[in-house]
Amino acid sequence: MKWKSFSGKPIKLPIIDEIRLRLIEESDNKLKVCIGTDSQVKGDITEFATALVFIREGKGGFIYHKSYQTHQKISLKERMILEVADSVEVALMICPLLDEFNVELEVHADINTDPQFKSNVALKEAMGYILGMGYTFKAKPEAFASTYCANKVVK
């Protein structure tokens, strides 16, 4: 799984090195990072995409993403938890670097807070997982990193 810029250009450096360079370049900006994963089932293939969204306060932002596919049959609840696990894995990897540069982090879950929606079946588990890891949790409709950014990659 190679990381790419939002335009699709492959990142040549390991992502942690790329992020370090960008954080140095962006040192004059107040940044926040939001991580989210989305998935789509296409026949017997499920595609997952994780978006790493850097927001410059008042000045736009930039995105990195990665994706992969699986042929495993996965229930909706399991798929929602796998999305969260992918996001938490990235958070764990970059959190020490973000702490070093004093950058806020949120983990976004593509899960609806409204019980009328199917994805709500995994809300409690996802929230517990993310909060239990010590991260700020956001779900729909506030979870733009997963709902909009990662979604653009798997569509």
Condensed to tens digits (0 to 9), the pLDDT of residues 21-34 reads 999 999 999 999 99
How far is 112 from 61, CA to CA, in rounded Å? 25
Would residue 37 be called left, alpha or beta, if left means φ above 0 and alpha means ψ between -120 and 50 degrees? beta
* pTM exceeds cut of 0.85: yes
The pLDDT value recorded for residue 148 is 82
CATH number of 4-154: 3.30.420
| pLDDT greater than 90 at residue 125 | yes
Q: What is the mean pLDDT of residues 119-124?
A: 91
Q: Kindly list the distances between the CA atom of residue 70 and the CA atoms of 52, 74, 111, 128, in Å, as whole numbers in the listed order.
A: 21, 9, 20, 25
| pLDDT greater than 90 at residue 108 | yes
| pLDDT greater than 80 at residue 155 | no
Q: What is the mean pLDDT of residues 111-131?
A: 92
